[in-house]
Structure 1
Amino acid sequence: MAMPPDRPDSPDIPEAVAAPRPRWRLPLIWLVPIIAVLIGAWLAVKAVVERGPTITITFTTGEGLDAGKTKIKFKHVDIGVVKSVTLSRDHSRVVATADIVKDASDLLVNNTRFWVVRPRISGGTVSGIGTLLSGSFISMDVGNSTTIRHDFVGLETPPVFASDVPGREFVLKAQDMGSLDVGSPIFFRRLQVGQVTAYKLDSDGKGVTINVFVNAPYDRFVTNNTRFWHASGIDVSLDTSGVKVNTQSLVSIVIGGLAFQTPPDTADISEAAVKTQFELFESFADAMKRHDNIVDTYVLNFTESVRGLTIGAPVDFRGITVGEVTAIYTRFDPVTKQISIPVEIHFFPERFTSRYQPGATGAGRVSRDPQALATYLVGRGLRAQLRTGSLITGQLYIAVDFFPNAAKASMDWSKNPPEFPTTPGNLQSLQESLTSLMTKLNKIPFDAIGKNAQQTLVEANTLLKRLDTEVTPQARDTLIAAHKALDSANSALLPNSPLQQGAGDALSELARTAAAFRTLADYLERHPEALIRGKPGDQK
């Protein structure tokens, strides 16, 4: 405080001047927390700006899911982590909430798929073995949709192929699954070119729908006329060339599989579109069987046994298959009180169209009026007949041929389907012939014939006894007399016997007489006048 100036004894001290006090002063020590707050705010803003979306994935089970540990990977690159695993409101599913990095936000589209990778064995393939050491994780397959989505339903099994794998998917309709499963292989000329991706039972329960995927570039060999068939197991066939064994691979024998091929005579070889539906056949033979556009249905009524005739048996015309059996029934006629067996067949008229002539199209029917043609051929003796196709298996087939001596018949076009006339088979004719022969043999009186034969044998025995007692002694005496006569003749014919000597002398005299006659004849030939005059010596 300054001393008053009127005081003489005050020291010489400068006068103090009052300075104004500042309103607010920040101590330097506060700069550190302020900078820390600014850095924290910047980091928070950066975290918010760089933070990716949060998604939810629902699964049927929480196996392999751990909050804060389970990673979400795409192409084995971490793009997120599961933050929480909870139950859904109805407790039927598990909801996994995960944070995804911002760079992967454009991968979350409508048809993106998620699944838990864990060790699996399915369809002959083993996957997820690496998770035995590293633990399970969620894998992702990106879809091709443009719609953003943040809630997903996870797959219970991994997809067979990724969305970016080149190829095409097709649909097969079959009676049953056989030994197929998801991941079962698909073969083309014994090369594995695809796999089964999914299957489901049809809504009516009468079949199954199978989704398959064929990898590129093999998918271009699937045309609109391609045939698919079961390649499971071993196909064994027996024909005139011997036993044939056919299979695709050892894999198909163990776990099953499919195969496809286009028939060689197919005209349309355009590639099939995605999701094209095909029929799945039971075997290669069924698949390669010719499929005709024109099919007529007839009924054949047989009165003989059809044991050995099966559905699918061929209808044959002189060695060419022109149809097949589709159904076998039984029918009772209340008028005639007889039971017959109607057999329904499919007849393929296109197979009668000429194909060997140059320029022939080979399509359509033989005649524009098929009913008139069939009526004419039936009038000429065209009939259906059961015949044996194999003596080993006893299988039957239906032969269609001309039988000029067959009973008169006609087509009844008022029935639907019309009934085609038949004629008894060769086996039935043989049986009827044997039956007729046995009937005739049964009419022969074998008992009476046997009695007459026995009586004849008794009479023959009596006759033999009489011959032995009466004829035999006389025959013996006659033979002795004949033997004596032969002995006498033999003695007379000996060289030194008197008969032989006398015969020799007589022959000598006869030779001399013949010589004298020859001399006389020669003389008279030279002197014919001697017959009148005599010899010259006699005229003296």
Structure 2
Amino acid sequence: MIEDRKNVESLRRVRFNSIWLVPLVAILVASWMLYQNWASQGPLITLIAPNAEGLEAGQTKLKARNVDVGQVVNIRLSDDYDKAIIKVRMNQGTQKMLRQDAKFWVVKPRIGKEGVSGLGTLLSGAYIDMSPGEQGEESSDFTLLSQPPLSTTKEGIRILLHSTDSAKLGIGTLVHFRGYEVGYVEEVGFDVNTGSITYRVVVQPPYDALVNSAVQFWITPGVSFKSSAQGFELTLDSLETFLLGGISFGLREGKAAGIPVKDLASFSLFASKKDADNNSYEEAIEYVFLFDANVSGLTPGANVNFRGVRVGTVLEVPFTGGGIGSLSSEGRPVIPVLARIEPQRLNALTVSGDVSVHKWEELLGDRIEKGLRARLEIGNYLNAAKVITLDFMDNPPPVKPSKFEGYQVFPTGPDSLANLEGKVANLLDNLAEVPLKDTFQKLGQTMNEASETLRQLQAMSESVQLLLEQTETQQLPEDISSVMAELNLTLQTYQANGQIGRPLRENMVSLGRALNEFQPLLRQLRENPSTLIFDTTNRSDIQPKAAK
């Protein structure tokens, strides 16, 4: 009992001390701050990058449209040490930005074909920029792009281009329409199945309305030099295109616009505008030309002409579809060449307007029967470039329709050089028929006679030389000089003031005066010749007298 009373009394002595309020309040404030910090934090996302160059945990910011929306909190290597794992704490309210199509990239100083960018980071340091996502579900794992995206816009039209005969163009290559910038290359790839380079091109609004089913795309290399049958061609474009290259598109001259195309429509990308124009003819008649001649200088893309007018294009030289070991009708090996006749080039020349391909085939067949043949001809003598020329031959050998590897064979004739060789051969044959022996004998006689004539001329020259060397001959110039002096003195006497010339001049003056005095008499005689017989005095008429 006594012990219980002592315990109660000791409890009554214990009192609450106010000093304990300070740590209690500190704990409550810290808890509240932790809660506020946790509540204000956004989601934690993971960025996977090849490396973390220029990034630092706790300092590198993540921005969207130059507004801070997060910060890098941790950087580490992946488990296989092949990638960098970057943890970024986003701000609160940014969850809707983190959709599957969101893009992240590092902004730092860059110099490339797109220009100079990121100079502001020279002082502030690199940061991560992002393009907010708009499609797909929310995500927390993303890949950090190695290069900034060219554009984040979803407007415009995207076109797929395929190229098999040109060098690769880079991402960001500009697209032009009549020299005006209307788009760019967004993505470059390679199609293993077709062996072609593929480009995804963006044409920005409002220029996307220019793209239709009839347009053609070609590469503008900036500067190009080409040698062909038309001569040497040097093409210069703008300085920007000269440095970076470019792609242009448009309609062939005289062609109507097509129908609008959908997104990701496919087009061919040609190496030049000329190639694009040559491939714009949808309808063509393909032939194989079997040439028994040297085809050096004939290249794909060369002209097929009819009397100077282009009517087709050479496709393949030599045509390897059936090999080169084919034989001509004479049993000699020939070189097959694949080319096509393009009726759309000819329709503009016809009076009746457009003619179908079938009609053109019939028309060409009829002309072949009448002597239309193909032959090789040098189109440019500077570079020995050749073309195929179609023209009518005189008395051509008859031909039968035939095919070569499924293609109709177009009959050929000898080329221009072969004709020249034939003319030279005929000339030599004619020379062989000339009686050269008699001709040379007569020529020898003529030469002998000429030699005798020259000998006589030489003897005459020697005689003249002896004559000139005589003393009498050498005195002739002095005699001639004295005669000329005497003749001069004689002429002086006949001059106006000479001994004979002065009296003669005075007599001529007197004679002139006398003639002047005779002028009235002569005039009177001309008017009235009877004055030499009758008196010139006027008399009155005799009056008859009256009879007494």
TM superposition score category, shorter chain reference = 0.7 to 0.9
Does the 8 Å contact 2:251/2:257 carry over to 1? no
Q: Measure the CA separation in 2 of the matches of 1:245 and 1:459.
A: 65
What is the SS of the residue equivalent to 1:418? strand
Match in the other structure for 2:283: 294
Match in the other structure for 2:199: 210
1:128 is aligned to 2:122: no
What is the SS of the residue equivalent to 1:338? coil
Report the Cα offset of residue 290 of structure 1.
Answer: 5.2
Match of 1:365 among 319, 337, 357: 357
Report the Cα offset of residue 87 of structure 1.
Answer: 0.9
Match in the other structure for 2:367: 377
Q: Measure the CA separation in 2 of the matches of 1:272 and 1:430.
A: 55
Q: Measure the CA separation in 2 of the matches of 1:428 and 1:239.
A: 22
Report the Cα offset of residue 188 of structure 1.
Answer: 1.8
Report the Cα offset of residue 413 of structure 1.
Answer: 4.5
Match in the other structure for 1:156: 146
Are the structure 2 counterparts of residues 451 and 220 from structure 1 closer, same or farther at C-alpha, using a change threshold of 3 Å? same
Report the Cα offset of residue 226 of structure 1.
Answer: 1.9
Match in the other structure for 1:257: 246
Map of 1:80-229 to 2, 5 A cutoff? 80-163=70-153, 166-175=155-164, 178=167, 180-204=169-193, 206-229=195-218
Match of 1:343 among 337, 341, 350: 337
Does the 8 Å contact 2:222/2:238 carry over to 1? no
Map of 1:341-490 to 2, 5 A cutoff? 341-353=335-347, 362=354, 364-365=356-357, 367=359, 372-413=362-403, 416-442=406-432, 444=434, 446=436, 449-455=439-445, 457-458=447-448
Are the structure 2 counterparts of residues 462 and 249 from structure 1 closer, same or farther at C-alpha, using a change threshold of 3 Å? closer
Are the structure 2 counterparts of residues 50 and 414 from structure 1 closer, same or farther at C-alpha, using a change threshold of 3 Å? same
1:327 is aligned to 2:316: yes
What is the SS of the residue equivalent to 2:316? strand
TM-score, length-scaled by structure 2:
0.72
Q: Measure the CA separation in 2 of the matches of 1:69 and 1:263.
A: 57
Q: Measure the CA separation in 1 of the matches of 2:444 and 2:389.
A: 53
Report the Cα offset of residue 30 of structure 1.
Answer: 3.8
Are the structure 2 counterparts of residues 176 and 143 from structure 1 closer, same or farther at C-alpha, using a change threshold of 3 Å? farther
1:70 is aligned to 2:81: no
TM-score, length-scaled by structure 1:
0.73
Report the Cα offset of residue 29 of structure 1.
Answer: 4.0
1:342 counterpart letter in structure 2: P
1:46 is aligned to 2:36: yes
Match in the other structure for 1:528: none
Q: Measure the CA separation in 2 of the matches of 1:91 and 1:198.
A: 29
Report the Cα offset of residue 417 of structure 1.
Answer: 1.1
Q: Measure the CA separation in 1 of the matches of 2:175 and 2:256.
A: 24
Does the 8 Å contact 1:237/1:243 carry over to 2? yes
What is the SS of the residue equivalent to 1:64? coil
Report the Cα offset of residue 27 of structure 1.
Answer: 5.1
Report the Cα offset of residue 254 of structure 1.
Answer: 1.6
Report the Cα offset of residue 155 of structure 1.
Answer: 1.0
Report the Cα offset of residue 266 of structure 1.
Answer: 3.1
Report the Cα offset of residue 175 of structure 1.
Answer: 2.7
Report the Cα offset of residue 399 of structure 1.
Answer: 2.0
Are the structure 2 counterparts of residues 30 and 385 from structure 1 closer, same or farther at C-alpha, using a change threshold of 3 Å? same
Report the Cα offset of residue 332 of structure 1.
Answer: 4.6
Are the structure 2 counterparts of residues 185 and 96 from structure 1 closer, same or farther at C-alpha, using a change threshold of 3 Å? same
Q: Measure the CA separation in 2 of the matches of 1:443 and 1:75.
A: 96
1:45 counterpart letter in structure 2: Y
Q: CA RMSD in A?
A: 3.5
1:195 counterpart letter in structure 2: Y
Q: Choose 1 or 2 for highest CA Rg.
A: 1
Match in the other structure for 1:480: none
Larger mean Cα displacement after TM superposition, 55-64 or 176-185: 176-185
Report the Cα offset of residue 387 of structure 1.
Answer: 2.5
Are the structure 2 counterparts of residues 177 and 130 from structure 1 closer, same or farther at C-alpha, using a change threshold of 3 Å? farther
Are the structure 2 counterparts of residues 90 and 238 from structure 1 closer, same or farther at C-alpha, using a change threshold of 3 Å? closer
Q: Measure the CA separation in 1 of the matches of 2:13 and 2:213.
A: 92
Larger mean Cα displacement after TM superposition, 115-124 or 54-63: 115-124
Q: Identity percentage over the alignment?
A: 30
What is the SS of the residue equivalent to 2:407? coil
